[in-house]
Amino acid sequence: MSMGKRVTLGTLGLLLAGGATLALASISCAPEHNPNYAGPPFVAQVVGFNPDDYSVAQVMYLPTADKASHCDDLDLDGGGGPQATEVAVNTAFRVVFSELVDADKVEQVDADGIGTALYRGLINVTNRDGTPVVSTLDPTLTLGPDAFTGVYQPAGGSGCFGTVNTVDIGTGAPIPGPALLAYMQATIPGLPSGSELTLVVDGTVPGHEIVDKGGAGLEGGKFKLDITTTAMTVDCPSLDACNVVPLPDPTAEADLGTMGFVQVGFTAQVADPAGVFLYEDGQTTPVAGVTAVLDANLSALVSETQSPLIVDLIAGTEADPLPLDLLPGATYTIVVTSAVLDPWGMAAQTIPDDTTCADAAVTVAGCVWAGSFTMPVPAADGGI
């Protein structure tokens, strides 16, 4: 029989449009199956996944053994409770319940009965003390009740893991269900980096309570899981791997004595790039006339990335950018400091075990990463 009016494939089409996970699911079961288990529903699993690459996922929470009595396929070798709780700043969440919940209460539907969005406030991320997360750079940027969207996915049945023919297209693995799929709204630039936070599943939102098919509310009313976000760092352990390269001036003939601009990648979106500097070998002050700008705002110079994860070093200003003019044969050091901030005001941090700041020819307070390069010297005939 049908387990609800939600059409899973239609829901997944919506998820594809929203950049979240894909799945192929059946929503049928034996006619005699009772979709309601005795007792209140509880959170049976939490999975964090990358909404841009749904094959990248990790289990963040498993129920304790006493909560998994009817979950025959549940692997508790790692023990119950929190598992891998450090997540990337762009993580989306799959919150799995022990049984089917009342879809009408948790999800808005269109005229065809297809789920379109979770009701506000069902999924939240707060500070550990329960207070809202607010950016220190922009007080209007908050993680409030509207920060997350998503859909309810019955995933084929009730019980901790749904049916065995519910599979993830990316991995081919069974998908636990039923679940709330929650990912951040497009207006939210990811979670704050390097932060201790709490994921909250609120089963008490007035009018949209999380209840099972028998009307029993979510165990405890709210489910909370402490999470930690990865720190914002330079997106590489070495200069070559970082795409910090001398790019030629795109407006002139190739001249090995002229750089277009330098690019430095980060693991989180950058809001304040002012902590990236360029030093000439042997100098204790940055090269004059070099400006750090956000790559996403750089329009006058050609960039292949145009990414908010990139900082460009240019000459001139962001409004009137110019290619860098560096000396042939000279060695330069790019220095990234903790003055680089993400949109929440969290500072860039040192890559674990990185020694580039200690190895750099220049000492800069607050250095979190450094990389050096030498400008090539043109041959007399203009060749290399």
Distances 287 to 34, 184, 303, 324, 374 between C-alpha atoms, Å: 72, 40, 22, 10, 15
Convert the pLDDT of each residue in 305-317 to its tens digit.
Answer: 568 888 888 888 8
Q: What span, in angstroms and rounded, lies between the C-alpha atoms of 132 and 310?
A: 28
Average pLDDT of each block of 10 consecutive residues along the chain (384 residues)?
38 34 35 66 89 86 66 52 88 89 92 89 97 96 94 64 43 64 94 98 97 94 97 81 52 47 88 94 91 75 68 84 81 94 97 90 92 74 50
Q: What span, in angstroms and rounded, lies between the C-alpha atoms of 2 and 5?
A: 7
Gyration radius (Cα) of the chain, Å: 25
The answer to whether residues 171 and 207 touch, using CB atoms and an 8 Å cutoff, is no
Model's pTM, two decimal places? 0.80
- Residue-level pLDDT at 320: 81
The answer to whether residues 265 and 237 touch, using CB atoms and an 8 Å cutoff, is no
User: What b/e readout covers 319-329, taking b as 16+ CB neighbours within 10 angstroms?
Assistant: eebbbbebeee
Convert the pLDDT of each residue in 168-181 to its tens digit.
Answer: 545 545 455 688 99
Cis-peptide, bond into residue 132, ω within 30° of zero: no
